[in-house]
Amino acid sequence: MSAREPIVILSPSVADAPSRAGSAKDLLSRCRTFIVASVAALAVLSSCRSESAPPAEKSAAPSAPAAAESGPLTPDPGGKVIPVELYTDANGSYFKPSEIHANRGDVIRYTLKVGVHNVHFLPDSNVGKTGYPAAASDFLQLPGQTYDVAVKMPAGTYYFQCDPHAALGMKGRLMVH
Protein backbone atom coordinates (compact mmCIF):
# COMPACT_ATOMS: atom_id res chain seq x y z
CA MET A 1 0.00 0.00 0.00
CA SER A 2 1.41 3.39 -0.93
CA ALA A 3 1.24 6.50 1.24
CA ARG A 4 -1.29 8.12 -1.09
CA GLU A 5 -3.91 5.40 -1.00
CA PRO A 6 -6.73 6.03 1.51
CA ILE A 7 -7.31 3.50 4.21
CA VAL A 8 -10.95 2.45 4.43
CA ILE A 9 -12.16 0.53 7.42
CA LEU A 10 -15.59 -0.99 7.20
CA SER A 11 -17.52 -2.27 10.15
CA PRO A 12 -18.63 -5.88 9.83
CA SER A 13 -22.26 -4.83 9.41
CA VAL A 14 -21.42 -2.57 6.47
CA ALA A 15 -18.86 -4.89 4.94
CA ASP A 16 -21.20 -7.84 4.68
CA ALA A 17 -24.41 -5.89 3.97
CA PRO A 18 -24.74 -6.98 0.33
CA SER A 19 -24.57 -10.63 1.28
CA ARG A 20 -27.16 -10.24 4.05
CA ALA A 21 -29.53 -7.98 2.15
CA GLY A 22 -29.83 -10.22 -0.82
CA SER A 23 -31.08 -8.73 -4.05
CA ALA A 24 -32.72 -5.36 -4.49
CA LYS A 25 -35.93 -7.23 -5.22
CA ASP A 26 -35.83 -8.87 -1.77
CA LEU A 27 -35.16 -5.51 -0.13
CA LEU A 28 -38.10 -3.93 -1.94
CA SER A 29 -40.34 -6.80 -0.89
CA ARG A 30 -39.33 -6.40 2.76
CA CYS A 31 -39.97 -2.64 2.62
CA ARG A 32 -43.43 -3.18 1.18
CA THR A 33 -44.22 -5.73 3.87
CA PHE A 34 -43.04 -3.34 6.59
CA ILE A 35 -45.13 -0.46 5.21
CA VAL A 36 -48.27 -2.60 4.88
CA ALA A 37 -47.82 -3.97 8.41
CA SER A 38 -47.26 -0.45 9.80
CA VAL A 39 -50.36 0.94 8.11
CA ALA A 40 -52.43 -2.01 9.32
CA ALA A 41 -51.17 -1.56 12.88
CA LEU A 42 -52.00 2.16 12.82
CA ALA A 43 -55.48 1.42 11.50
CA VAL A 44 -56.10 -1.10 14.27
CA LEU A 45 -54.75 1.23 16.97
CA SER A 46 -56.76 4.20 15.77
CA SER A 47 -59.97 2.18 15.71
CA CYS A 48 -59.41 0.81 19.22
CA ARG A 49 -61.21 3.04 21.64
CA SER A 50 -62.53 2.09 25.01
CA GLU A 51 -66.24 2.79 25.21
CA SER A 52 -66.16 2.75 29.01
CA ALA A 53 -63.80 5.71 29.36
CA PRO A 54 -64.73 9.06 27.83
CA PRO A 55 -62.14 10.85 25.70
CA ALA A 56 -59.73 12.99 27.71
CA GLU A 57 -61.00 16.23 26.20
CA LYS A 58 -64.55 15.50 27.30
CA SER A 59 -63.54 14.55 30.84
CA ALA A 60 -61.74 17.84 31.45
CA ALA A 61 -63.75 20.82 32.60
CA PRO A 62 -64.15 23.41 29.85
CA SER A 63 -61.93 26.45 30.35
CA ALA A 64 -64.43 28.91 28.91
CA PRO A 65 -67.66 28.73 26.95
CA ALA A 66 -67.09 28.88 23.22
CA ALA A 67 -68.32 31.98 21.46
CA ALA A 68 -70.28 29.85 19.01
CA GLU A 69 -72.10 27.99 21.82
CA SER A 70 -73.65 31.12 23.25
CA GLY A 71 -74.24 32.80 19.91
CA PRO A 72 -74.08 36.52 19.36
CA LEU A 73 -75.07 38.65 22.33
CA THR A 74 -77.63 41.42 22.07
CA PRO A 75 -76.92 44.78 23.70
CA ASP A 76 -79.22 46.10 26.39
CA PRO A 77 -81.88 48.60 25.24
CA GLY A 78 -80.05 51.77 24.23
CA GLY A 79 -76.77 49.87 23.96
CA LYS A 80 -74.80 49.14 20.81
CA VAL A 81 -72.53 46.49 19.32
CA ILE A 82 -68.95 47.76 19.12
CA PRO A 83 -66.88 45.90 16.51
CA VAL A 84 -63.21 45.08 17.16
CA GLU A 85 -61.23 43.25 14.47
CA LEU A 86 -58.30 40.89 15.13
CA TYR A 87 -55.42 40.85 12.63
CA THR A 88 -52.02 39.45 11.85
CA ASP A 89 -50.59 41.00 8.71
CA ALA A 90 -47.59 42.99 7.44
CA ASN A 91 -48.29 45.59 10.15
CA GLY A 92 -48.05 43.00 12.94
CA SER A 93 -50.62 41.39 15.25
CA TYR A 94 -53.19 43.82 16.60
CA PHE A 95 -56.73 44.70 17.65
CA LYS A 96 -58.46 47.32 15.50
CA PRO A 97 -59.25 49.51 17.33
CA SER A 98 -57.06 48.73 20.33
CA GLU A 99 -58.73 51.41 22.47
CA ILE A 100 -62.46 50.96 22.99
CA HIS A 101 -64.94 53.31 24.67
CA ALA A 102 -68.13 51.62 25.81
CA ASN A 103 -71.08 52.08 28.14
CA ARG A 104 -72.67 49.50 30.39
CA GLY A 105 -75.13 47.51 28.31
CA ASP A 106 -73.00 47.61 25.13
CA VAL A 107 -71.55 44.48 23.54
CA ILE A 108 -67.96 44.28 22.31
CA ARG A 109 -67.85 41.96 19.27
CA TYR A 110 -64.32 40.71 18.56
CA THR A 111 -64.17 39.41 14.97
CA LEU A 112 -61.26 37.45 13.53
CA LYS A 113 -60.02 38.86 10.23
CA VAL A 114 -56.57 37.26 9.76
CA GLY A 115 -54.54 34.90 11.95
CA VAL A 116 -55.38 32.86 15.04
CA HIS A 117 -56.16 34.90 18.14
CA ASN A 118 -57.94 34.91 21.49
CA VAL A 119 -59.08 37.63 23.89
CA HIS A 120 -57.99 37.53 27.51
CA PHE A 121 -58.69 40.03 30.29
CA LEU A 122 -55.82 39.09 32.64
CA PRO A 123 -56.41 39.45 36.40
CA ASP A 124 -52.83 40.75 36.82
CA SER A 125 -53.59 43.61 34.43
CA ASN A 126 -56.95 44.37 36.03
CA VAL A 127 -56.15 44.31 39.76
CA GLY A 128 -59.09 45.33 41.90
CA LYS A 129 -61.52 45.19 38.94
CA THR A 130 -64.58 42.97 38.70
CA GLY A 131 -67.09 41.98 36.07
CA TYR A 132 -64.71 41.28 33.18
CA PRO A 133 -64.61 37.79 31.57
CA ALA A 134 -62.95 35.42 34.03
CA ALA A 135 -61.28 33.19 31.43
CA ALA A 136 -59.61 33.65 28.08
CA SER A 137 -61.78 33.16 25.03
CA ASP A 138 -61.35 30.12 22.86
CA PHE A 139 -59.00 30.66 19.95
CA LEU A 140 -60.70 32.17 16.92
CA GLN A 141 -59.28 30.31 13.93
CA LEU A 142 -61.55 30.96 10.97
CA PRO A 143 -62.04 34.43 9.47
CA GLY A 144 -65.41 35.79 10.58
CA GLN A 145 -65.52 33.92 13.90
CA THR A 146 -66.61 36.15 16.75
CA TYR A 147 -66.32 36.43 20.51
CA ASP A 148 -68.79 38.73 22.28
CA VAL A 149 -68.28 40.44 25.63
CA ALA A 150 -71.28 42.04 27.34
CA VAL A 151 -70.19 45.24 29.05
CA LYS A 152 -71.54 44.65 32.57
CA MET A 153 -68.48 45.73 34.53
CA PRO A 154 -68.32 48.93 36.60
CA ALA A 155 -66.91 52.10 35.07
CA GLY A 156 -63.15 52.01 34.68
CA THR A 157 -60.34 50.93 32.40
CA TYR A 158 -59.83 47.25 31.62
CA TYR A 159 -56.87 45.73 29.80
CA PHE A 160 -56.99 42.74 27.47
CA GLN A 161 -54.62 40.90 25.17
CA CYS A 162 -54.20 38.07 22.70
CA ASP A 163 -52.17 35.54 24.70
CA PRO A 164 -49.85 34.20 21.96
CA HIS A 165 -49.22 37.69 20.54
CA ALA A 166 -49.04 39.85 23.69
CA ALA A 167 -45.24 40.01 23.50
CA LEU A 168 -45.66 41.34 19.96
CA GLY A 169 -47.87 44.15 21.25
CA MET A 170 -51.33 42.69 20.65
CA LYS A 171 -52.95 44.40 23.63
CA GLY A 172 -55.97 46.59 24.08
CA ARG A 173 -57.80 48.81 26.52
CA LEU A 174 -61.53 48.96 27.24
CA MET A 175 -62.78 52.13 28.92
CA VAL A 176 -66.23 51.71 30.43
CA HIS A 177 -68.09 54.98 31.10
DSSP states of 83-121: EEEEEEETTEEEEESSEEEE-TT-EEEEEE-SS-B--B-
What is the domain partition of the chain in residue ranges?
A: 67-176
pTM above 0.85, yes or no: no
pLDDT tens-digit map of 76-122 = 999 999 999 999 999 999 999 999 999 999 999 999 999 999 999 99
Q: Which CATH class is domain 67-176?
A: mainly beta
Handedness of CA 158, 96, 86, 80 (dihedral sign): positive
pLDDT tens-digit map of 120-149 = 999 999 999 999 999 999 999 999 999 999
